[in-house]
Amino acid sequence: MTMDHRTAVGLVREHVHPDSTLVTDQAQHYKFAPVADHQTVDHSKFEWVRGIASTNTLEGFFPC
């Protein structure tokens, strides 16, 4: 599946449990994601980890 700014919230709604914590960067298309908690990091401020929020594991994932 491909996810971009047009499909992000729909895919979150379809595949992520509403009681989950979503961890992302500051991309605006996640702003109103239908989850219980949303933690973010702000790459524009050179922030890579804050508390439990880190996008490094996702950015390092490339399926074969």
Q: What is the tally of structural domains in the chain?
A: 1
Where in the sequence is the domain holding 36, given as residue range(s)?
A: 15-40
Distance, CA of 51 to CA of 61 (rounded, Å): 21
Helices (H), the chain: 8-15, 56-59
Q: Is the dihedral of CA 13, 15, 19, 24 positive or negative?
A: negative
**Span 38-49, mean pLDDT?**
89
- Residue 35 has a pLDDT of 94
Q: Flag whether 35 is in a domain.
A: yes
Evaluate whether residue 23 is within a structural domain: yes
| pLDDT band for position 63 (cuts 50, 70, 90) | low
pLDDT at 59 over 70: no
Q: 63 in a domain, yes or no?
A: no
pLDDT for res 64: 54
Is 32 inside any structural domain? yes
